Structure 1
Amino acid sequence: MTARRTGLREQKKQATRQALREAALRLALERGPDNVRVDDIAEAAGVSPRTYNNYFSSREEAIVAAVTAERESRVAAAIAARPDGVRLADAVADAVVEQYTDPGTRQGDALVLITTRPALREAFVDAAARVEEPLTDAIAARICDRDRDAARVLAASVAAAIRIALDRWTSGTAGAPAVPGGLVVPSGPLPDLLRAALAPLAPALNAAEERAAARD
């Protein structure tokens, strides 16, 4: 019974988070982000401003969450789904590129909004930090790291590399011309930037995997 109550409570929290981020993006697209207050988002989602603050620290974070939602867990799941024969560094790079360039996470109008507003660009880049915790679990499972310290260090390094790539990708959007359809062209292909940022971490990721294999 307790487990059921916990499950229902978690479902309610997830539904509230989803309602808030969807309301934030909808209002930002309708009014422009500068004309949207936290109180407006909370009212549109049917919750109090106090409840809003339990989920997001700013309107920018909520708007960006509408685009990046669940991406962190999908990265971890994609790593876990890679066959055992795939090196850890390749599994991480492939999973990151796949999930960060999935068209489903780059909703046209929302991406234009984010990449053309400095505060939203910053929040979009900073959101990469949230990949660290699920990535720690995924890496720990691959290297059988019992104290998790090595997995945490590697995951933090991957999160930093993603942030650097996203920062470079969005850095050229301010004042950049739009292509037909209104989409601003970011600075360079994102898959290439992600792989370049992750490349220096490959030796450390593979070495951790090799040490785990040697212990077995």
Structure 2
Amino acid sequence: MKREPSLRERKKLATRAALSRAAWSLMVERGLDAATPEAIAAEVNVSPRTFRNYFASREEAILYSLAQTGPGLLDALRARPVEEPPWDSLTQVLPAFAAAFADQRHIIGSLLRVVDEDPSMRAQHLVTYERIDRQLAELIAERIGAEVRRDLTPRLLAAAAAAVLQTSIEMWARGDRDLALPDLVREGLVEVRAGLPAGAAVRVSSPSPAG
């Protein structure tokens, strides 16, 4: 049974979430340069020192909400039957998880443009996805009785699932595919399970023998 957070812990979580929302709003409305620690703190009526107690950088604050999606995904996987093969569980959970972003296409598109343009945001974006990937690998290892540090399977399954999710979100947010996000995620999972048949169809000709 999970322990209920104390009042102090709830206040800290609320402050962290408020700072993240302020950072996100400043970036969207005024550009990344406007989202300084001082400006973010001012939006929440706290000191810059308080901001730095919660976040190491503005990039971390902006992407905090994305990082917070990880626990929800893990909880959904834990709720699947223990005997269910991991990829079957992922196929059930990931499209439904992606559906939560369905009304945020423009917002995610804006974020990806900033990530493309700013090296610090790109680095933090990678860190965020890697954290979710690691947590997913640990959970898969737990469910199949593997050791995440020594066994390839949980890490490969997690990496493949994370790649499907990230690629689908990026293609959808940028308008590269005219398909609902959950359907795009589902399509990606099916392709990976089939061994990426389109890729397998590519043949590289062997060089002709000399002479």
2:84 to 83, 86, 91: 86
The 5 A counterparts of 1:159-174 are: 159-162=158-161, 164-165=163-164, 168-169=167-168
Offset of 1:32 from its aligned partner?
1.8
SS in 1 for 2:56: coil
Q: Is the 8 A contact 2:140 2:158 kept in 1?
A: no
Mind listing any 5+ residue stretches in structure 1 that lack a counterpart?
A: 174-182, 201-216
2:175 to 174, 182, 185: 185
Q: Bigger radius of gyration, 1 or 2? A: 2
TM-score, normalised relative to structure 1: 0.64
CA distance in 1, matches of 2:154, 2:30: 38
CA distance in 1, matches of 2:59, 2:138: 28
> What is the total number of aligned residue pairs between the two structures?
184
Offset of 1:25 from its aligned partner?
1.4
Which residue does 1:35 correspond to in 2?
34
Q: Is the 8 A contact 1:125 1:163 kept in 2?
A: no
Offset of 1:75 from its aligned partner?
1.2
Which residue does 1:48 correspond to in 2?
47
Which residue does 1:143 correspond to in 2?
144
Which residue does 2:25 correspond to in 1?
26
Decide whether aligned partners of structure 1 residues 167 and 76 sit closer, same or farther in structure 2, where only a CA change above 3 A counts.
closer
Q: Is the 8 A contact 2:87 2:157 kept in 1?
A: no
Offset of 1:95 from its aligned partner?
2.3
Bigger helix fraction: 1
Offset of 1:46 from its aligned partner?
2.9
Which residue does 1:103 correspond to in 2?
100
CA distance in 2, matches of 1:197, 1:43: 46
Decide whether aligned partners of structure 1 residues 113 and 11 sit closer, same or farther in structure 2, where only a CA change above 3 A counts.
same
Which residue does 2:10 correspond to in 1?
11
Decide whether aligned partners of structure 1 residues 78 and 154 sit closer, same or farther in structure 2, where only a CA change above 3 A counts.
farther
State percent identity of aligned pairs.
Answer: 29
Mind listing any 5+ residue stretches in structure 2 that lack a counterpart?
A: 196-211
| Corresponding position: 1:75 with 2:58 | no
CA distance in 2, matches of 1:137, 1:187: 32
TM-score, normalised relative to structure 2: 0.65
